[in-house]
Amino acid sequence: MADEVVLLDYWASMFGMRARVALAEKGAKYEYREEDLRNKIKSQVLLQMNPVHKKIPVLIHNGKPVCESLIIVQYIDEIWRDKAPLLPSEPYQKAHSRFWADFIDKKLYDAGSKIWLTKGEEQEAAKKDFIEILKQLEGQLGDKPYFEGEKFGFLDIALITFYCWFHAYETCGNFSIEAECPKLIAWAKRCMQRESVSKSLADEKKVYELVLGVQKMLGVD
Amino acid sequence: MADEVVLLDYWASMFGMRARVALAEKGAKYEYREEDLRNKIKSQVLLQMNPVHKKIPVLIHNGKPVCESLIIVQYIDEIWRDKAPLLPSEPYQKAHSRFWADFIDKKLYDAGSKIWLTKGEEQEAAKKDFIEILKQLEGQLGDKPYFEGEKFGFLDIALITFYCWFHAYETCGNFSIEAECPKLIAWAKRCMQRESVSKSLADEKKVYELVLGVQKMLGVD
């Protein structure tokens, strides 16, 4: 029996994109199902498959749901284990990758969102936080081509999906991420040369349009 | 060369206790180093070993730090792999365990803390949240002896360390967790029969005294 793989996702979600990149790295075929989150409509399938958080992404593998993007990427790595290993095999390196991926989840999304959801002093503080977080990550990257060394892997996936939001952050915040973190941007461009990444990430201009729309709706502009 | 294992910890931390239970399950010898967090003093070693979050627990294995309790437990499981496996080996079960452990981290600590840090309506809401979270977990336990089935494992460790705080939650909130979640309490008592758990968890009366002290300091009482 062939595997049935379905991804419940939303085009602009950096968390959903992580699952897309991981599946692409593995060459796994799957059915992509877009949730209409822009209009705050959640499908019955989503509510049934992730009743706890009611959030995308959800990977449905032969009818069984896996939720939370980093858990999904680890699951994908374990199921399609013969191709393109994503997590390091050595326990200490694995713990290190998990730590920094968790750091991204705890810090980066909120700091990034505040850049376009706030104005004035609050926005300035958010920009400072955001750059500080990226500099910590850039420090971890060092002079390696990828976060885990010579090969593209788990931690690259955890971070690269934010890259298509950088244009929106920069335009709303009127600052340049590249001026602050040139090595990180060089790494991002390196990742974008991979088809698994370039084909999975959203168009940065469309992300910016989405941000403008949400700002207008919330009265931030 | 023998392994050098050090745990930076604080006696009342449910996160630190997770590392203690996991190490005890594995029969791993380690040096326990108490951080004086009650007096808000953090050792130079802690600041050096976890410069990002500056939080316990930190497991230092042959000089290298591993941080964040669930990452530490997974690391311990991978290093001491020959004894008492903690995570399920099957990828879907593993993803399931990771999901619920993450759920505990995202929900339970905050809800529990609000029970003793607030009063009145806010406290009532916290109690309701807390019980709701425990009921979801109890639903996952079902009629199994342990969360992952017949054997004590990762998800049991993630949750059982909260048990020694239950007395403080109940006394401050004037409610009975057992009346709401009898199966969960039966599970907790089952876990407490394991030496790895009973010797790693703090005394519930001392936890309550700590809570009273902090309440007094913050003017909650």
CATH of the domain at A188: 1.20.1050.10
Cross-chain Cβ contact A91/B78 below 8 Å:
yes
Residue B220 confidence (pLDDT): 87
Whole-angstrom distance, CA of residue B16 vs CA of residue A71: 23
Residue after which a domain boundary falls, among A79, A100, A134: A79
Tell me whether A186 touches chain B (CB under 8 Å). Answer: no
Q: Is residue B84 part of a domain?
A: no
Residue of B nearest to A74 (CA): B95
Identify whether the C-beta of residue B157 lies closer than 8 Å to the C-beta of residue B22.
yes
What totals of helices (H) and strands (E) does chain A contain, helices first?
A: 11, 4
ipTM metric? 0.95
Residue of A62, A70, A96 to mutate, interface with B, max B Cβ within 10 Å: A96
The β-bridge relationship of strands A31-34 and A5-9 is parallel
Summarize pLDDT for B159-206 with one digit per residue, the tens: 999 999 999 999 999 999 999 999 999 999 999 999 999 999 999 999
Residue of A nearest to B64 (CA): A92
Which of B71, B92, B95 minimises the CB distance to A102? B71
Tell me whether B107 touches chain A (CB under 8 Å). Answer: no
Q: Is residue A84 part of a domain?
A: no
Considering the domain architecture, whether residues B164 and B189 belong to the same structural domain is answered as yes
Residue B214 confidence (pLDDT): 93
Pick left, alpha or beta for residue B2 (phi over 0 → left; psi -120 to 50 → alpha; otherwise beta).
Answer: beta
Backbone angles phi, psi at A60, to 5 degrees: -105, 110
pLDDT over threshold 90, residue A84: yes
Which of A52, A78, A99 minimises the CB distance to B103? A52
How many domains would you assign to chain B? 2
Q: Is residue A86 part of a domain?
A: no
Residue B39 confidence (pLDDT): 81
Summarize pLDDT for A142-174 with one digit per residue, the tens: 999 999 999 999 999 999 999 999 999 999 999
Considering the domain architecture, whether residues A37 and A121 belong to the same structural domain is answered as no
Note down the domain range covering B149. 91-218
